[in-house]
Structure 1
């Protein structure tokens, strides 16, 4: 099925109506939050949107439309540091539910929430679970780093990157450079050694403590190992992984 564009925002209402029932709609989700002195606050939204568009571009057998990125996420844990605009978790869950319902009313039957922010990870899956209770649709949910597998960690290690995905560290810096973004001038004075230890998951299961992000200084590791070339290798792998995800999702939930 030929489409003039795979970007939902560039198509007219009739064009969308003609393909919605057979298409997969990708809704990228990000965040606006502090990323230390070295990265822009919109990093998560930029990365998720770019991977989604690059993954959709080569798909010919599967009609895929990419919606405009939802730039805000559940980031209240970053509020102690400047630059964070956050939705409460329950608000994000409601927003995602409304967007999925709107897409279903428009005729879409296959929808994928594609996430670029750790604080949204549980919520995108819950939104998918909730949506299919009442709507006759299939909803996928994935965070980009979860699709990269062992190979993503290997590529990072080869470049001297220790935290995948980390936060505001070398991994995200490399991806941001690969997108052609200009890092803030303050990145030259960002931590270059002695990574701050992020919270560890205890042996007995998940646990969190008040104020953990502020104690880390808002970053998990130095950005020093990041280069554009490293970022391009990471990005290529992530795009390939998400392309494979979309193909499998479309195959498993044929309409």
Structure 2
């Protein structure tokens, strides 16, 4: 595999990379993550999963030298977009873009990449509030530009090899899942000991909708639950490392599949 960072390429190298490679854009946020995780948690975690996935692809390429082996993806990694759509976290602290602004930012970045010679682009998201906006942006952009675009949120692409997953609290927010990942990736940034979460009654509707299939939002819920969705006190670094590996392996497979399907 050939991977490079956009920031370190010359414009000629960017043009050449766009001929048969794919551009990869990580997207995060800056927002409250309760009292034990930093504002940049979503950005830090999506970068960690992306970098681990690219490292796995590099390892696969090094191990497979047979002439009949599948082509390895040529990836140009963009700097992470550190801001997202986080108005629901402004009660504490956040740097938030409106939905329309974030959609316009996606449009401008995608348009710039196509103008610069890229015709295959993947967006990897690290913040739940960005997900719908990101998916709509790539759908709309592919209607008007000669481009193939893929999008995913990192927690949705998993290898499926770990039977100890906890889908009931994944991805959550500032809870067991994110705290475990941060303990594995950036332990110095986690304020420990992580306090146990006081149960909140009734449970927030955004996390426990009253009927399957409903999306329910009620004013003031995030502040009422002190900014987290579940108890993070049982988070574990070793478990977090396994969770990160599962997502990285899943993303590596997704990148390879997108590359093969869009050549």
Give the TM-score, by structure 2 length.
Answer: 0.87
Asked if 1:171 corresponds to 2:177, the answer is: yes
**1:213: which partner in 2?**
222
* Aligned-partner SS, 2:142: helix
Residues 197-217 of structure 1, C-alpha deviation per residue, up to 9 Å, x if partnerless?
342234262221222211111
Cα RMSD (Å) = 2.0
Residue 123 (structure 1) aligned to one of 109, 115, 133 = 133
1:177, distance to aligned residue in structure 2 (A) = 1.5
**2:261: which partner in 1?**
252
Bigger mean CA deviation after superposition, 11-20 or 114-123: 11-20
Residue 201 (structure 1) aligned to one of 209, 217, 225 = 209
Separation in 2, partners of 1:209, 1:103: 38
Task: Give the conservation status (yes or no) of the 8 Å contact 1:195–1:222.
Answer: no
1:151, distance to aligned residue in structure 2 (A) = 5.1
Asked if 1:99 corresponds to 2:104, the answer is: no
For 1:178-193, list aligned pairs within 5 A. 178-185=184-191, 187-188=192-193, 190-192=195-197
Task: Give the conservation status (yes or no) of the 8 Å contact 1:38–1:184.
Answer: yes
Residues 94-114 of structure 1, C-alpha deviation per residue, up to 9 Å, x if partnerless?
001100000011111111110
Bigger mean CA deviation after superposition, 189-198 or 89-98: 189-198
Asked if 1:109 corresponds to 2:107, the answer is: no
Separation in 1, partners of 2:190, 2:102: 28
Separation in 1, partners of 2:105, 2:161: 33
Residues 124-176 of structure 1, C-alpha deviation per residue, up to 9 Å, x if partnerless?
10010111111100111100111127656x4334xxx8511110011101111
Task: Give the conservation status (yes or no) of the 8 Å contact 1:128–1:139.
Answer: yes
Residues 1:169 and 1:192: Cα distance change in structure 2 (over 3 Å): same
Bigger mean CA deviation after superposition, 99-108 or 175-184: 175-184
**1:15: which partner in 2?**
13
For 1:32-111, list aligned pairs within 5 A. 32-57=30-55, 58-59=57-58, 60=61, 61-82=72-93, 84-111=94-121
Bigger mean CA deviation after superposition, 125-134 or 12-21: 12-21
Separation in 1, partners of 2:234, 2:106: 35
Identify unmatched segments of 5+ residues in structure 1.
none
Residues 1:251 and 1:195: Cα distance change in structure 2 (over 3 Å): farther
**2:165: which partner in 1?**
156
Separation in 1, partners of 2:50, 2:127: 14
Identify unmatched segments of 5+ residues in structure 2.
62-71
1:232, distance to aligned residue in structure 2 (A) = 0.6
1:249, distance to aligned residue in structure 2 (A) = 0.6
Residues 1:189 and 1:233: Cα distance change in structure 2 (over 3 Å): closer
Give the TM-score, by structure 1 length.
Answer: 0.89
